[in-house]
Amino acid sequence: MKTLQSGGLQDPNEALWHDLLHALQHDDGAAAKEHLQAGFPIYYAEDDTPAGLLIKEHPSGRRELVRFDEAGDEVIRAL
């Protein structure tokens, strides 16, 4: 169901979510690879990643299951 604002314009939030979902479905991983090659870790989840946790992958290939927090990552375990 489309949410419309007055004047018949599509809700900008709905358009943003549509664009994000489209980008995720067509992601080739290039941005993540660039980020790793630049020396920065990436964060992602897989289908079996427990709720509230993320996988942190380091440029070296080391992977950790982490709880992401503003204060810093809490490593739950190495993968």
Note whether residue 5 is domain-resident. Answer: yes
Segments forming the whole domain that contains residue 21? 1-30
Distance of alpha carbon 18 from alpha carbon 22, whole angstroms: 6
3-state per-residue secondary structure call for 15-79: HHHHHHHHHHHCCCCHHHHHHHHCCCCEEECCCCCCCCCEEEECCCCCEEEEECCCCCCEEEEEC
pLDDT one-digit tens code per residue, 14-46: 888 787 777 777 888 888 899 899 999 999 899
Which of the four pLDDT bands, split at 50, 70 and 90, describes residue 48? very high
Give the pLDDT confidence score for residue 3 in this predicted structure: 42
Are 2 and 22 within one domain? yes
Are 24 and 49 within one domain? no
* Domains identified in the chain, total number: 2
Give the pLDDT confidence score for residue 9 in this predicted structure: 53
Note whether residue 35 is domain-resident. Answer: no
Query: Is the pTM of the predicted complex or chain greater than 0.75?
Result: no
Are 45 and 74 within one domain? yes
Are 65 and 45 within one domain? yes
